[in-house]
Structure formats: structure tokens, C-alpha cells
Chain A
Amino acid sequence: MTSNPSPHIPGVHAEPSSSARTATGLLAYLLVGLSFGIVLVKSEAASWYRIQEMFRFESFHMFGLIGSAVLTGLVTTAMLRRSGVKSRDGQTIRVTDKEKGWRRYVFGGLTFGVGWGLAGVCPGPIFTLLGAGVWPMLVVLLFALLGTWAYGALQTRLPH
């Protein structure tokens, strides 16, 4: 990303030092995270009650939420890619494709799903609920890290 040599283009000022740019760049991600955290709470996607309601098909709320999120993402991402606009740091917009296959997606997906249904939290809400002062999420986070490490340790022995 930052490895492209600075070309000397007449009339164009030298780029600002990369560390300053990275710092402001990182701040932007903090702000996007902040607003996303607010959305997770305000839309009640971080609510244990709503997740339970969703997994029992007792309300449209979460389905409307995820459905409209996917639809909005689909349309706006397609528009962004078609427009030919470059990213803020001058790259061509590209989406990395997920690895092909199915085993890891079925087995990994099922495992994650069972965990999600138990405590009613997926990774985003773990962080958001911590900020909301739900301290027991520290236990979930700690064990999620342990689970992540366990996958890393067993990776080569699992079907993918």
C-alpha cells in the first residue's frame, strides 16, 4: 500500500509524510467503528433478546435488519465499483474473493452458530457490549481468543 515509490510529477507537491497520513487514516477507522457500534446498539442487533427472538423466528426485526443491510451493501458496493472511483488512498476498489470450497464454511459456520445462539453474541457485539458496560463479555472475549488460538494450533489437522 505505502510501498509505491513516490513519483516525481511536475507541479505535484510531495506527499505528506506517510506516518501522519497513517495516523489520520487510522482515526477514520476508529470513527467508522464508533458509528457502527452505535448502530449495533440502537438497532438492537447487540441485544440478547433480539437474537433469541430471531433464532425462534418470532419477529421480523432481525431479518429486516440483516436483509436490508445486505441489499444496501449489494447496491452501494456495485455502484462504487462501477463508478470507477478510486479509494481515498488512490487504489482501484477491489473485493477479495473468499477461498473456494465448502467444508470449512459448513463446519466452521455451524460451530460459530452454536456459540452465537448460546450467549447471543457474535464478535461485533462482544466489543460493543463491553463498551456498554456488560462486563461478563470479558469472559466471552477471553474464551473467543482461546478458541481462535485453538483453531490456529489445529488448522493443519482440520478438513477445509
Chain B
Amino acid sequence: MTELLDFLRSPWPWYVGGPLIGLTVPLLLWLGNKPFGISSNLRHACAILLPDRAKPGFFKYNWRAEKWNLMFAAGLVLGGFVAGVLLANPEPARLSAAGVRSIQELGVQVRPGLVPAELADPGNPGVWLLLAVSGLLVGFGTRYGGGCTSGHAITGLATLQGPSLIATVSFFAGGILSANLLLPLFLTVIR
């Protein structure tokens, strides 16, 4: 019994997780011709929340037809609870030696969990700023670019779409820049 629990709590190698992520594309197509993409939900949420007269045209559409995606997002929350709380991995992620070193250089300790305590510290106003700026850019950039990792990197590349390749290369370039230059700078300032 404990062995089974240990098994359920342990993380999966990439070659198990990757194919399961990829299968989401044909699965959603088969279920109802749905394009797999998560960031559209942010648009749907705005379309629901904004009062009609204050709505830019971008949010004037029939969001009710996209309820399936909001259900998908609700499922993501539930999945996070099942895997991240009920079956949480008690060990820290098994990073490479180089990865551990870089993270410690950022002033962050590698502990069990998905997000380090240093970045979840509500007592530090700098952390709030980091999370807010990050969220703002993610929300703005995904709609401007028409998708995120799921819509472009997974769905778009898997269906051989040129625009998705441009978007994927661009958001990796942005991520490399910010993880290597902006984040260290940010963390030095807010600490």
C-alpha cells in the first residue's frame, strides 16, 4: 500500500508526460473539433466579467459557445489539487547539478513543491510586484500573439502551422532573456 502511494506521488519522466500532453490535441478534436489552447480562457473571463458598455470589441462575442474551454480550465484546477495536494511529491524536483547551482545563485533554495517559498512570500512587496508584472505580460502577450504554450507550441506545431513556429521561437527567446537577465536582476532588487 505504501509502495503504491510512493508510486503515485513520484513525478513522471518526460517520455511519459510528453506523449500524454500531445494526445490532448486529437482528443479535443475528436470530442468536438475543439482547438487545444488555454490562454483563450483569459479572454472568455474578460468577456464574462466586463459590463457590456465598457467592453472593447475584442470581447464582444458569444462566450457561451466557449464554455467547454472554461470547463477545461476548471479541470486544470481540480487536476492541480489531485496531483499537487493529494498526491504531492514529497521530494524536491530532481534537477540537474547545474540547475540546482543556478537556482541557488538566484538566492532560492531547492525544496519540495512546485513554486519556491521565496516567490510565494506575501510579506515581501517585491514578490507581489514580480507576480503582477509577470501576469500582466502573460495576459497581454498571449492575446497579442494569439496563444500560449498549448495553443502554439503544442497544437500549432503539431499541425505544422508557420505562425505558431514564429510565436514559439519568439516566446522562447523572451523566456531565455527574462530568466537569465531580468529575473536575477529583479531578485537582487527585491531582496
A residues whose Cβ falls under 8 Å from a Cβ of B: 1, 25-56, 58-62, 64-74, 76-77, 79-80, 85, 87-89, 91, 93-102, 104-124, 126-137, 139-153, 155, 158
* Sampled A-B contacts (14; CB under 8 Å): A30-B74, A45-B21, A53-B96, A53-B103, A94-B33, A110-B173, A113-B173, A116-B149, A116-B174, A128-B77, A128-B79, A131-B85, A144-B42, A146-B139
Asked if B22 contacts A144 (CB within 8 A), the reply is no
The distance in angstroms between the C-alpha atoms of A33 and B73, with both chains bound, is: 6
Q: Please name 18 further chain A to chain B contacts, defined as beta carbons within 8 Å, in addition to the given A73-B155, A104-B146, A113-B170, sorted by A numbering.
A: A36-B75, A38-B82, A41-B83, A58-B98, A72-B22, A76-B25, A77-B29, A101-B163, A106-B166, A110-B174, A111-B174, A117-B178, A121-B138, A124-B76, A127-B41, A128-B77, A144-B136, A146-B135
Asked if A104 contacts B144 (CB within 8 A), the reply is yes
The distance in angstroms between the C-alpha atoms of A130 and B135, with both chains bound, is: 14
User: Main SS of chain A's interface residues?
Assistant: helix
B172 cross-chain contacts in A, Cβ below 8 A: 55, 113
The distance in angstroms between the C-alpha atoms of A106 and B65, with both chains bound, is: 29
A49 cross-chain contacts in B, Cβ below 8 A: 92-93, 95, 99, 103, 110, 116
A54 cross-chain contacts in B, Cβ below 8 A: 175
How many residues on B have C-beta within 8 angstroms of the other chain's C-beta atoms? 127
Asked if B119 contacts A136 (CB within 8 A), the reply is yes
Asked if A59 contacts B163 (CB within 8 A), the reply is no
Asked if A124 contacts B141 (CB within 8 A), the reply is no
Asked if B78 contacts A114 (CB within 8 A), the reply is no
Interface string of B141-180 (1 = CB under 8 A from A): 1111111111011111111111110111111111111111
The distance in angstroms between the C-alpha atoms of A116 and B176, with both chains bound, is: 9
Asked if B174 contacts A131 (CB within 8 A), the reply is no
A85 cross-chain contacts in B, Cβ below 8 A: 30
Distance between B82 CB and nearest chain A CB, rounded to angstroms = 6
